[in-house]
Structure 1
Amino acid sequence: MSLLKPKMIKLFKVKEKQLSDNANGKAAIKKQTAGELRLQKDISELNLPKSCKILFPNGKDDLMNFEVTVHPDEGYYLGGTFSFSFQVPCAYPYEPPRVKCKTKLYHPNIDLEGNVCLNILREDWKPVLNINTIIYGLFHLFTQPNYEDPLNHDAAAVLRDNPKMFESNVRRAMAGGYVGQTYFQRCLS
């Protein structure tokens, strides 16, 4: 029993020193949440395709909010540049990040407000999934758009019924122009 007391006393002294340092104006060390720790691990292990880039606009102090740029190298969206914002909740990985497309585009699985229809961001999310998985999922939406699970029903119907017209609409939207009544800014690089 006497062996445990010195360790307990040392723990209390460490805590007292931290409180004292904070009172004396020394910078407090911010305690990281489990979500932040997991996100740091995910980011350190990223293995992105060459056509995807990650950017931290708020610097290293805000890893929970970042952007991903996708530049498809094949498919309908070849040559376009599309930006996504990621907001990672503190409960990550038990809750998925909130992902929004910042680039307005003509796509069956991304609506005009930037909402993304990707099953792993909704009902199929599991804590074993990670940021790398989500980015590959986004990349896959550009190489294989899915008309069976749409957010933009008009684009999905055109893709299903007339793939040539869908391709023409995508090209017109990416070049900067109207598709129907909707104007799209140029996103070709």
Structure 2
Amino acid sequence: MIKLITLKNKRREGEFLGRPIQEKASLAHLRIQKDLDELDPPKTCAIEFPDPDDLLNFKLVICPDEGFYKGGKFIFNVKIGQGYPYDAPNVKCETAVYHPNIDFEGRVCLNILRENWKPVLTINSVVFGLQYLFLEPNPEDPLNKEAGDVLKTNRRQFEQNIQWSMRGGTVGSISQALSQVNIQD
């Protein structure tokens, strides 16, 4: 007969009945595995895992093939918290970009990452939402107010500012420092 105290001690040591104990997967891990299995990113997007054992932290690379940002390469750091899917992922743009919905610290203004997040949304929703920001920037809800104002008042100037900044130029008082790193060959 196995003594209960011995079993409890074995459990604390990471073993039960001679077999290693599998740690219980969190809801966030289970859901992200499901989301990644069902992920169907467009050809302009790729997901990279710096640590293949860590599914909760990854990079999203968006390379628009049309619109203002055509030819650019934009990298986002995505962190999934333990509250996922009830809490939205934390998304930060690592690439300096002149964009009304992305500020110079990389914060992203996308409604599904804030007040409109719902547990039924998936990583696929986030990928398509971020891609859409590059196809249709939203000047009505800007983080970069200057870029939003320019887009509203002078679309041609906005486009020129993007092109200039993607080549490493200065727009206003801010140097984008995008240079060749973010322009696809």
- Common fold: TM-score over 0.5: yes
**Runs (5+) with no aligned partner, structure 2:** none
Deviates more, 1:156-165 or 1:30-39: 30-39
CA-based RMSD = 2.4
Q: 1:179 to 1:38 in 2, by over 3 A?
A: same
Aligned residue number for residue 75 of structure 2: 83
Superposition deviation, residue 177 in structure 1: 1.4
Percent sequence identity over aligned pairs: 47
**What code does the residue aligned with 2:50 have?**
P
Could you say what secondary structure the match of 2:129 adopts? helix
Paired with 1:145 and 1:38, the residues of 2 have a C-alpha distance of 30
Q: 1:43 to 1:180 in 2, by over 3 A?
A: same
Deviation digits for residues 43-81 of structure 1 (CA, Å, limit 9, x no counterpart): 01101100000001011x210000100000110000000
Deviation digits for residues 68-122 of structure 1 (CA, Å, limit 9, x no counterpart): 0000011000000000001101110000000000001000000000000000000
Q: Are 2:15 and 1:31 equivalent residues in the alignment? A: no
Aligned residue number for residue 119 of structure 2: 127
Structure whose CA Rg is larger? 1
Deviation digits for residues 103-160 of structure 1 (CA, Å, limit 9, x no counterpart): 0100000000000000000000000000000010000000000100000000000000
Aligned residue number for residue 144 of structure 2: 152
Aligned residue number for residue 174 of structure 1: 166
Paired with 2:139 and 2:10, the residues of 1 have a C-alpha distance of 57
Q: What does 1:39-118 align with in structure 2 at a 5 Å threshold?
A: 39-59=32-52, 61-118=53-110
Paired with 2:118 and 2:10, the residues of 1 have a C-alpha distance of 37
Paired with 1:21 and 1:110, the residues of 2 have a C-alpha distance of 47
Compute the TM-score of the two structures, normalised by the length of structure 1: 0.87
Aligned length: 177
Aligned residue number for residue 157 of structure 2: 165
Compute the TM-score of the two structures, normalised by the length of structure 2: 0.89
**What code does the residue aligned with 1:52 have?**
C
**Runs (5+) with no aligned partner, structure 1:** 1-11
Paired with 1:23 and 1:76, the residues of 2 have a C-alpha distance of 57
List structure 1 runs of 4+ shifted beyond 3 angstroms. Answer: 15-18, 23-28
